[in-house]
Structure formats: structure tokens, C-alpha cells
Chain A
Amino acid sequence: MIKALFFYLFAILSVSSAAMVIIARNPVHAVLFLILTFFNAAGLFILLGAEFLAMLLIIVYVGAVAVLFLFVVMMLDVDFAELKAGFIKNAPVGALIGGVVLLELAALFLVYGFDVGVGGNVQTAMPSTGSGIDNTTALGRVIYTKYVYFFQAAGLVLLVAMIGAIVLTLRHKEGVKRQSVAEQVARSPKTAIEVVEVAPGNAVLPSTEGPK
């Protein structure tokens, strides 16, 4: 009963906030609605017993992707009114394609139901329902054992991505003044002060190099 209640709460909220993502006039509001959609989808995942996926959705999509969107929306000067104009013009075409896909899906499910003839090949879900093992435990059991090769290979791929990003973007600029604590501590009166003999009647011009 409570589960059904929460399902409808999450479902209605996620569909309506997804609609708001497209309808909202202010792009920042649209991104915030997108985040709300992600949270509700995460709630739906928890109801399904997929708590690991729910946490991933929040960490990756809300924590990284949506924040990136916010940055882009706020920092880039995109004329959203112009984009919207195109939206209205192309809306009928989009609606037509969407309608066709909807009809196809409806026909598929009316004819075949939810059994689309994959046959007996489908493997069972990893923690079988009712086994008392949750997703996170089940993943933890296989990721360093059965899938250790894939896990390490994925790590190498990420290493390459990191090296690549550094190689292609890091520039050592000449002439940038940086604070060097070691150099500051190593200063002594000998290196910092310059004693100049001043002949009577003459002025001392400041050295162009400045104090060392």
C-alpha cells in the first residue's frame, strides 16, 4: 500500500518535472527541474530494490552531469529565446515522429505482451529476488573476483583519459609570478638587502630589477 503510494508520488513527480524541463522559460529552472527528475527516478529505483543504481544516479547525474549543465547554462551566453523559436517551428515534426514511435510500441506490446521472444537465453538477475542479498553486496562480491579484469582494464582507460587531458591542455606559461614558500623562507638579509654607497649630493635611483 505504502509502496504503491510512493510509486505514484515518484512517478507523477518525475513525469511532471520532466515536462517542466522542456516547458520552463528560464534555462536555470529547467536544469533544476532536471535534477528533480533524477531524484524521483532514483526513488523509483529504490522501490525496485536497486539501491546501488539509485545512489549512482544521484552521484553521477545530479552530482556531476547536472552541475556541469548548470555551469554551461550560467557561463555560456546562449540565446534561449532563439532556440525556443526553432522548437515551436519543428514541434509538429517531432510530435509526428513521437506519435509513430508510440504507435509502434503500443502495437508491439499489444501483440506480444512483455514477452518479446528473447527465448530462454536471458540470464537471471544477479541477486535473485528473495535471496536476502542486496545489490551492493552482490556487486561487491563479483567486481574484484569475477570481473577483476574488466575492472582493472576500465581503470587503465581512465588513466589514459587523464594523461590525455593533461598532455593536451597543460601549459607551462613563462613569466607567471607564483608564490614559492621555500624561496621565501630561504631569503636572508644578504640576498634581500642591497647596500649602496651614496656619494654626497647624488640621488639613488631604484634598481629596475627590484629586490631579489
Chain B
Amino acid sequence: MQHLLIYAPAFPEMLLAVAAMLLLMLGAFSEDNDHNGAFIGWLSIAFMIGAATIIALQPPATQTLFNGSFVVDQFSRFLKLLILGGTAVAMLLSFDFLRQKGLMKFEYPILMLLACVGMMMMVSANDLIALYLGVELQSLALYVLAAMNRDNVRSSEAGLKYFVLGALSSGMLLYGASLIYGFTGSTSFLEIANVAQAAPPSENIGLIFGLVFLLVGLAFKISAVPFHMWTPDVYQGAPTPVTAFFAAAPKMAAMGLLLRVLGGAFPGLEQQWQQIIWFISIASMLLGAFAAIGQNNIKRLMAYSSIGHIGFALVGLAAGTTEGAQGVLVYLLIYLVMTLGTFACILAMQRGDEMIEDIDQLAGLAQNNLLLAFTLAMLMFSLAGIPPLAGFWAKVYVFWPAVQAGLYPLAVIGVIASVIGAYYYLRIVKIMFFDEPQEKFVPVSANLAIVMGAALIFIFAFAIPQLGGPIVAAAEAAANSLRL
């Protein structure tokens, strides 16, 4: 027992991995029907709550395992809780949809669970090999989930597109990692940091080359411009609850990994990576603002919205300070809640057995279902960043460090982009409240209503210091444990 306890920092990952294998056995040896699939889904939610409890009970100290390749600190714990929350809520959103579409296979929750393990490995990675294995475990499960509705052409297309472009980005990432290993002689972030600091950047050209390729690979994973091309098609094609999952948890993991790599492995090269982050941040914000205007499919709109939001979160990273990292973490948390809430509303857009994805079909929703229309409207206001909702504070937390770091152009462009972006969010509100009503949607199911309600309360309550304060403090502790 004593020997096992040294692995205590990795218990949450171990629990989920073992749980996934147990549930796989359970699923494989029981009858394949909706009921068993849902049962395994609920069990995996229970295991995720268990893992989150272990993480919450862990002491706040920084611990490393497996020769320093796996690090557990406040930063990784904060993100792991977000990832577990995002995955569990996405699973909760899936049940009704999957049952209706006849997709409630037991592999679905198991793949989500394994993707969750991969994401947790990503935010704990402290070594290039651990980084790659985490990314790959996560992505591979996501490719399969995107193509889950295999008899649907769009879903298969989404899976294939995601797979091919994901493989390309993994190739870039590996090429960068091999260059970094070649020029530093180690895969460990600590060793790489030592080499990066030992010589001025002008003598580390090879390392910078590797860094650029690594950033390209990671930018694919967070779908930042110019590596965003796959996002709209994959978001539109994948089954809606899977899209909700894509927009939530993997973004947390990939942004966390980006912060960890840049802060942990490349101190001394801030000048170099800040230029890159600066550029992809501006490009993502502007593309997210302009490209979403012409969209009529709400899932595509959310894809462009997520690209824009990643751009905003990167503003905090571009500042390159601890406050900036704190801003990114707060932004990610608020973005997670808003996105999951919005997707709960999108999943409630249903007439008979048909899922509605056209924005025009929302017309006059306020007269049919005022509560749903109000929730979606508030979430849209929050996504647009209108005070006093949470989305506004998220933007404050990333723009303020950027201003403090003297990045005025970035902050100004960010504000302009969010004003432009507000147009398409407000357009949805206008369609819901001021257009001629269409046919009614089916009543909202309990699972969706819970998620919507929680998101609605959160975006209003974040401005209250008693509620927002502890979250911001936790993000601050997390950012402090990161060496940015």
C-alpha cells in the first residue's frame, strides 16, 4: 500500500482509466440496448465526480511523478476540474439526443471517459512525450465521437476531416518536438527551459524553429486562426452533444497545454512566442467576428464564436504575465459555462423528432417558450460580453493584463472585434423576440433544463464578489503555480 501511495497525485487519471476499462467489459458482456448504454453513461458521470472529488481533496503543493514527466500543481488541478465538469455536463446533454437518434451505444461514454483521461494527461504533461501521448489519446477518441453517427454523411465527413487534419497537426507537433529534442538533448520541459535560458535567443535558432512547429500543432487543437479551417465543418457535422463536448472540454486542455509549454519549457524566449500568440490572437478574434455574420446554421455560428473566444483568451497569454495567465483561466471557465449552456439551448431546438439547426427557425421563440428564449438571449448577451454578465468580466480579466503589459493595439483590436461580434449574437435575440412566431418546439427535457438553469445562474451570479471572488482566487493560485 505504501508503494502505491506515491502515485497519489495520479489517482484521478488512474481511476478514470480503470473505470473506462471496467465499463468496457460491462458494456461488452451485457445486452446492447439503450438502457444499458445510458446506465454506463450515468456510471461514468459518477466516476468523473469521484475523480473530481479526489482532485479537490489533494494538497495544494506541486508534485511530480514518473521522473518529472507528470506534474500535478494548482494549475493542472484547476483545469482538470474544468475538463471533468465539461465532460460530465456534455455527457448529461447527450442522453436524450442519443436515445432519439438510436446512437446510445455503450462505447460513447467510454470514449468520452478516455478522451477525458487524455485531456487530464495533457494539462499535467511536463515532458514532450507525455504531451504527445495525451494529445493523441484525446484526439483519437474525439475523431471517433465525431463520426459516431456513421450512417450520416455529414457526421462521417466531420470525422474524416477532423482525422486527416488532426493527423497533419500531430505531424507538425511531432516535427517540432523532434527539433526541440535534437537541439536541447532532452524531452523534459525543465531541461528544455534550462537550455532555452542558458543562451540568448539568437543562438537558439533551432529551438525557436521547433517551438514554431509545436505552436502550429497546438494552434490546430485550439482551432486558432490560421489553423481553424476544420472547425465549422466538424462542428456542423458531428452529432450536437458531441459538438458541445468539442467546444467545451478539449479547448480547456489544449489552452492549458499551451500555457504549460510556453511558461514551463520556453522561458527566455518570450519575445519569440509572444509575436506568434499576438498574431494568432488578433487573427482569431477578427475571423470569429466577421465570418460568423453570414452563418445561418447555429452550430456553424457557434464554431466561429468559439474561434473568436479562443482569440480573446489568447490576449491574456500574449501579455505573458501571471495576471495574464490568471485571466486566461477565468476566461476559460466562463467560456465553458456559456458554451455548455448555449448548447443545452441548441439541443432543446426540436420539433417532433427533428433537430432544428437553422437560426431562422428560432423566430418568435419568446411567444412560444419565454423561458427558453430568455435563457438563450442572456447567454447570447454574455457571449457578446455585455455587462454585468459573466462574459463581460471574462473579457475584462484578459484585456486588463494586456493593457498593463503595454499591448494597447491588441486590446483595441479585441474591443473592436467584440463589438462587431456582438452583432450576430444580438441578431439571434432579435429573431427570437421580434419576429413572427414559428411552430412550437417540444418541451425541454429535465437534463437540458438543469444545465440551462445552472449556466443562467452562473452568468448572473459571477458579478457578485462572494461567488466570483473564490473562482478568481483559485485561478490566481493556479496561475501562480505556473512559471509564466
Tell which of A157, A164, A172 touches B136, judged by Cβ atoms closer than 8 Å: A157
Please state if B144 and A160 are interface contacts (CB–CB under 8 Å).
Answer: yes
Knowing A149-B70, A167-B107 touch, does A157 contact B133 (C-beta < 8 A)?
yes
Q: Is B121 at the interface (CB under 8 A from chain A)?
A: yes
- Tell me the complex Cα distance, A122–B141, Å: 35
- Tell me the complex Cα distance, A150–B131, Å: 10
Which residues of chain A from 146 to 166 have any CB-CB distance to chain B below 8 Å in the complex? 146, 148-150, 153-154, 156-157, 159-161, 163-164, 166
- Using CB atoms, name the residue of chain B closest to A149: B66
Q: Is B117 at the interface (CB under 8 A from chain A)?
A: yes
Please state if B114 and A156 are interface contacts (CB–CB under 8 Å).
Answer: yes
- Using CB atoms, name the residue of chain A closest to B151: A171
Distance to closest chain A CB from B280 (angstroms): 28
- Tell me the complex Cα distance, A150–B143, Å: 22
- Using CB atoms, name the residue of chain A closest to B110: A163
- Using CB atoms, name the residue of chain B closest to A172: B32
Please state if A153 and B111 are interface contacts (CB–CB under 8 Å).
Answer: no
Which residues of chain B from 20 to 38 have any CB-CB distance to chain A below 8 Å in the complex? 21, 24, 32
Distance to closest chain B CB from A83 (angstroms): 22
Interface string of B115-143 (1 = CB under 8 A from A): 00110010000000110011011001101
Distance to closest chain A CB from B7 (angstroms): 10
Tell which of A121, A154, A166 touches B133, judged by Cβ atoms closer than 8 Å: A154
Q: Is B406 at the interface (CB under 8 A from chain A)?
A: no
Tell which of A150, A164, A167 touches B69, judged by Cβ atoms closer than 8 Å: A150
Main secondary structure of the interface of B (DSSP, over half): helix
Tell which of B65, B121, B140 touches A164, judged by Cβ atoms closer than 8 Å: B140
- Using CB atoms, name the residue of chain A closest to B14: A152
Tell which of B17, B69, B185, B186 touches A156, judged by Cβ atoms closer than 8 Å: B17
Tell which of B183, B186, B206 touches A123, judged by Cβ atoms closer than 8 Å: B186
Please state if B114 and A159 are interface contacts (CB–CB under 8 Å).
Answer: yes
Q: Is A168 at the interface (CB under 8 A from chain B)?
A: yes
Knowing A121-B183, A163-B107, A168-B144 touch, does A153 contact B130 (C-beta < 8 A)?
yes
- Using CB atoms, name the residue of chain B closest to A164: B144
Which residues of chain A from 177 to 192 have any CB-CB distance to chain B below 8 Å in the complex? none
- Tell me the complex Cα distance, A164–B137, Å: 12
Please state if B111 and A150 are interface contacts (CB–CB under 8 Å).
Answer: no
Q: Is A4 at the interface (CB under 8 A from chain B)?
A: no
Note all chain B residues with C-beta closer than 8 A to A156.
17, 114, 117-118, 137
Note all chain A residues with C-beta closer than 8 A to B440.
none
- Using CB atoms, name the residue of chain B closest to A145: B67
Please state if B183 and A118 are interface contacts (CB–CB under 8 Å).
Answer: yes
Note all chain A residues with C-beta closer than 8 A to B114.
156, 159-160, 163
Interface string of A100-120 (1 = CB under 8 A from B): 000000000000000000100
Tell which of A122, A123, A148, A157 touches B66, judged by Cβ atoms closer than 8 Å: A148
- Tell me the complex Cα distance, A160–B121, Å: 15
Q: Is B395 at the interface (CB under 8 A from chain A)?
A: no
Distance to closest chain A CB from B462 (angstroms): 36
- Tell me the complex Cα distance, A62–B381, Å: 60
- Tell me the complex Cα distance, A45–B148, Å: 43
- Tell me the complex Cα distance, A164–B65, Å: 30
Q: Is B147 at the interface (CB under 8 A from chain A)?
A: yes
Note all chain B residues with C-beta closer than 8 A to A150.
69, 129-130, 133
Which residues of chain B from 136 to 190 have any CB-CB distance to chain A below 8 Å in the complex? 136-137, 140-141, 143-144, 147-148, 150, 159, 182-186
Q: Which residues from chain B sit less than 8 Å from chain A, CB to CB?
A: 17, 21, 24, 32, 65-67, 69-70, 105, 107, 110-111, 114, 117-118, 121, 129-130, 133-134, 136-137, 140-141, 143-144, 147-148, 150, 159, 182-186, 195, 206
Which 4 A-B residue pairs are closest in the complex by CB-CB distance? A121-B185, A164-B144, A149-B66, A153-B133
- 14 more A-B contacts (CB under 8 A) besides A156-B17, A167-B107? A118-B206, A121-B183, A121-B184, A121-B185, A150-B129, A153-B121, A157-B137, A157-B140, A160-B111, A161-B140, A164-B111, A164-B140, A164-B143, A168-B150
12 contacts between A and B (CB under 8 A): A121-B195, A148-B66, A150-B129, A154-B133, A156-B17, A157-B140, A160-B137, A160-B144, A161-B140, A164-B141, A168-B147, A168-B150
